[in-house]
Chains A and B, each alone.
Chain A
Amino acid sequence: MSPATHPPELRELIRLLLVDEARSEVRDSAFGEIVEILRPGDLLVVNDAATLPAALRGQVHVDGEAHAIELRLLGPRAHDDGEEDRDRRWRAVVFGAGDWRTDTDDRPPPPLLEPGMLIELFGDVRASVVSRDPASARLVELCFEQGGPALYAQLYAIGRPIQYSHLDRDEQLWSFQTVFAGRPWAAEMPSAGRPLTAAMLAALRRRGIEIARLTHAAGLSATGDAQLDARLPLPERYEIPAETAAAIGRTRARGGRVIAVGTTVVRALESAARAGLTHQGGSGETELIITAQTPRLVVDGLLTGMHGPSESHYRLLRAFASQALLERAWTLALELGYRSHEFGDLALLLPAEPTRDSRLDVRPAAPVWDP
């Protein structure tokens, strides 16, 4: 499938493929029709993470020789203390020389970073290497010289949004934001929410469809390292507000469906359910990988970008539709010229059975899942 090479002229001007398992139906529509496709009583849950300028260029010295590198920040580590020191430590993926214009897989590998090594980023920003992942040399933990607001001021001064070579121009950070973005937690835009306009959200509410939010630190979609790509998505932090937990409860009580806007929302909600957080809300970091075999405890439907069988997100889609139906949908989308990636078209996956673990409803405080 061809990727969308730039944002649509208006954010809502994309196609929506309805993939309805109960009716064994695959149908093409304009995205705006989602207001009519969803039913009064349904709950739409969005990820309100804003996108960070997470791509930073700089250099490291190895054996006296300077090597150009690019860092792609995944997010701060949780264990920091003190206000000024807050968010000093970050997880990041290191790329070799060059930038997003080169295909990620064709970029030269970065030099091997050793703990204690100093990374000099453009704009006089420095970080030291704390540790390197034992299985993937590109995955590192860093410590910046400053934390708190001073660090964020630096990141916004020198960072660029993470981009890939399918784009036809260098985009500004605002192209990678949803209408409702709040705290900048996402390395890459939670893109399924991008086409939603303020007017559509208001129209959905008027139709009796509730809108709720969570914040999930969406990570990278590609690392340039096949071994690391196979581990995606990496652990990501999330936060479920108490109001959202309450909205899920109301939706279940009235027989409505919980529809996730994007795979990050599925990961956050299903992780929260397994951590016993879907009743009062809460936060955590999740390592959950969702596949066809993962029982869905909370999420009854998924609004998602077009992900093909070769992508890590495809496994997650299989929790919402059979392989046969997904193949049918993919074939039709190709025929109709659907576009993939962050500015592309969307699909709404509605499984036949809104599977949910009834234990969630009766034992709020108890752990409901023992992996």
Chain B
Amino acid sequence: MLDSTHVPLRTAIVTGASRGLGLGIAQSLAVDHGLRVAMVARDVAALEAAVRQVRAAGGDAEAIVADVADKLAIHRIFGIAAATLGDIDVLVNNASSLGPTPLRALLDSACEDFGAVLETNLLAAFRLSKVALGSMVLRDRGVVVNISSDAAVEAYPDWGLYGVSKAALLQLTRIWAAELAGTKVRVLSVDPGEMDTQMHADALPNADRSTLADPNMVGRTIAARIVEAAHEEVPR
């Protein structure tokens, strides 16, 4: 049900936004839904190209170069975004890491690689959400989306580091949503399915690309879901 009194979403932070799904979500939020979007990624050149692409399509976007796995970068990302765009209404935790590729069995995986995957896929999402959600709860508006995977629930051999991190992220999402029940702030998990992205090619180089979804199309669906979630009326 739509709540007609709801103020439209105005601003978003999207991580891992220089390519693939992150770029697709950022572009759709900016172009199709008119949000001002802070696009976060590590690679300066790729990120600037992505921001140019969104702007060329008529979207309002800013680049924030940062590694979300660096905990010292968290307040920097949020601060630059909030100073530039205003209060943040949407956070999309999309940046994620497979760990070393080709993917390896758990017995062959290094503890340090596991730690690094958890920093990017789980703790970065926790830290950024923690910084963004307090203001959202105070304003009683906002949406946080964590990008999940079927590897979060299926036990795929060789997908251990990624799968465990995504399983934990899914549980983080569920608990956060439970804690914020009774507010208008939404915390969602979205499984985008298999897409034709660099990340997919890194994991499964021999996949038949014709069977994979276009990340821009999936990005549009997720952006629409975000806007819809913000307008859902939930009994308080």
Set of chain B residues within 8 Å of A172, measured between Cβ atoms: 72
> Which of B65, B80, B135 contacts A181 (CB under 8 A)?
B135
Set of chain B residues within 8 Å of A53, measured between Cβ atoms: 79
Given contacts A48-B135, A153-B80, contact A177 B86 (CB under 8 A): no
Q: Is the CB of B83 within 8 A of A184?
A: yes
Instruction: Report the separation of the CA atoms of residues A53 and B62 in the bound assembly, to the nearest whole angstrom.
Output: 20
8 Å CB interface, A127-157 against B: 148-149, 152-153, 156-157
Set of chain B residues within 8 Å of A46, measured between Cβ atoms: 138
Q: 5 interchain pairs (CB within 8 A)?
A: A50-B79, A87-B83, A153-B76, A184-B83, A198-B137
Set of chain B residues within 8 Å of A174, measured between Cβ atoms: 74-75
Given contacts A156-B76, A157-B76, contact A149 B138 (CB under 8 A): no
> Which of A152, A182, A202 contacts B87 (CB under 8 A)?
A182
> Is B143 interfacial (CB 8 A cutoff)?
no
Lowest 9 CB-CB distances: which A-B pairs, in order? A156-B76, A182-B135, A180-B138, A180-B134, A179-B134, A152-B80, A149-B84, A183-B82, A184-B79
> Is A201 interfacial (CB 8 A cutoff)?
yes
- Name which of B74, B87, B135, B138 has the most chain A CB atoms within 10 A of its CB: B138
> Is A211 interfacial (CB 8 A cutoff)?
yes
Closest chain A CB from B132 CB (angstroms)? 9
Extra 11 A-B pairs, beta carbons < 8 Å, given A52-B79, A152-B79, A183-B82: A50-B82, A152-B83, A173-B75, A177-B75, A180-B137, A181-B135, A182-B88, A182-B139, A184-B82, A184-B83, A213-B138
Set of chain A residues within 8 Å of B131, measured between Cβ atoms: 177, 181
| A52-89 vs B, Cβ < 8 Å mask (1 yes, 0 no) | 11000000000000000000000000000000000100
> Is B64 interfacial (CB 8 A cutoff)?
yes
List chain B positions with a Cβ less than 8 A from chain A. 62-65, 72, 74-76, 78-80, 82-84, 86-88, 131, 134-135, 137-139, 182
Nearest opposing residue in chain A for B62, CB measure: A149
- Name which of A172, A178, A180, A183 has the most chain B CB atoms within 10 A of its CB: A183
| A176-198 vs B, Cβ < 8 Å mask (1 yes, 0 no) | 01111111100000000000001
Nearest opposing residue in chain A for B135, CB measure: A182
Closest chain A CB from B142 CB (angstroms)? 11
Set of chain A residues within 8 Å of B75, measured between Cβ atoms: 50, 156, 173-174, 177
8 Å CB interface, A208-252 against B: 211, 213
Closest chain A CB from B83 CB (angstroms)? 5
- Name which of A50, A172, A178, A182 has the most chain B CB atoms within 10 A of its CB: A182
Instruction: Report the separation of the CA atoms of residues A270 and B64 in the bound assembly, to the nearest whole angstrom.
Output: 37
Instruction: Report the separation of the CA atoms of residues A259 and B61 in the bound assembly, to the nearest whole angstrom.
Output: 38
Instruction: Report the separation of the CA atoms of residues A180 and B78 in the bound assembly, to the nearest whole angstrom.
Output: 13
Closest chain A CB from B71 CB (angstroms)? 9
Q: Is the CB of B80 within 8 A of A149?
A: yes
How many contacts A-B (CB < 8 Å)?
66
> Which of A156, A179, A182 contacts B80 (CB under 8 A)?
A156
- Name which of B63, B75, B87 has the most chain A CB atoms within 10 A of its CB: B75
Q: Is the CB of B138 within 8 A of A183?
A: no
Interface size class of A (residues with CB under 8 A): 20 to 34
Closest chain A CB from B87 CB (angstroms)? 5
Closest chain B CB from A158 CB (angstroms)? 11
Set of chain A residues within 8 Å of B79, measured between Cβ atoms: 50, 52-53, 152, 156, 184
8 Å CB interface, A26-65 against B: 46, 48, 50, 52-53
Closest chain B CB from A83 CB (angstroms)? 9
Instruction: Report the separation of the CA atoms of residues A180 and B183 in the bound assembly, to the nearest whole angstrom.
Output: 14
Instruction: Report the separation of the CA atoms of residues A52 and B78 in the bound assembly, to the nearest whole angstrom.
Output: 11
8 Å CB interface, A247-264 against B: none
Closest chain A CB from B128 CB (angstroms)? 12
> Which of B83, B84, B134 contacts A178 (CB under 8 A)?
B134
Given contacts A149-B62, A153-B64, A156-B75, contact A181 B83 (CB under 8 A): no
Set of chain A residues within 8 Å of B63, measured between Cβ atoms: 149
Nearest opposing residue in chain A for B38, CB measure: A149
Instruction: Report the separation of the CA atoms of residues A157 and B75 in the bound assembly, to the nearest whole angstrom.
Output: 11
Q: Is the CB of B134 within 8 A of A149?
A: no
Instruction: Report the separation of the CA atoms of residues A182 and B78 in the bound assembly, to the nearest whole angstrom.
Output: 9
Instruction: Report the separation of the CA atoms of residues A198 and B80 in the bound assembly, to the nearest whole angstrom.
Output: 24
Closest chain A CB from B68 CB (angstroms)? 14
Given contacts A149-B64, A173-B75, A182-B88, contact A201 B137 (CB under 8 A): yes
> Which of B65, B86, B182 contacts A183 (CB under 8 A)?
B86
Instruction: Report the separation of the CA atoms of residues A107 and B59 in the bound assembly, to the nearest whole angstrom.
Output: 49
Q: Is the CB of B135 within 8 A of A180?
A: yes
Instruction: Report the separation of the CA atoms of residues A184 and B82 in the bound assembly, to the nearest whole angstrom.
Output: 7
Closest chain B CB from A198 CB (angstroms)? 7
Nearest opposing residue in chain A for B139, CB measure: A213
Instruction: Report the separation of the CA atoms of residues A156 and B78 in the bound assembly, to the nearest whole angstrom.
Output: 10
Instruction: Report the separation of the CA atoms of residues A172 and B84 in the bound assembly, to the nearest whole angstrom.
Output: 22
Q: Is the CB of A48 within 8 A of B80?
A: no
Set of chain A residues within 8 Å of B64, measured between Cβ atoms: 149, 153
Q: Is the CB of A183 within 8 A of B83?
A: yes
Closest chain B CB from A88 CB (angstroms)? 13
Set of chain A residues within 8 Å of B134, measured between Cβ atoms: 178-181, 198
Instruction: Report the separation of the CA atoms of residues A172 and B138 in the bound assembly, to the nearest whole angstrom.
Output: 24
Instruction: Report the separation of the CA atoms of residues A338 and B82 in the bound assembly, to the nearest whole angstrom.
Output: 35
8 Å CB interface, A74-123 against B: 87
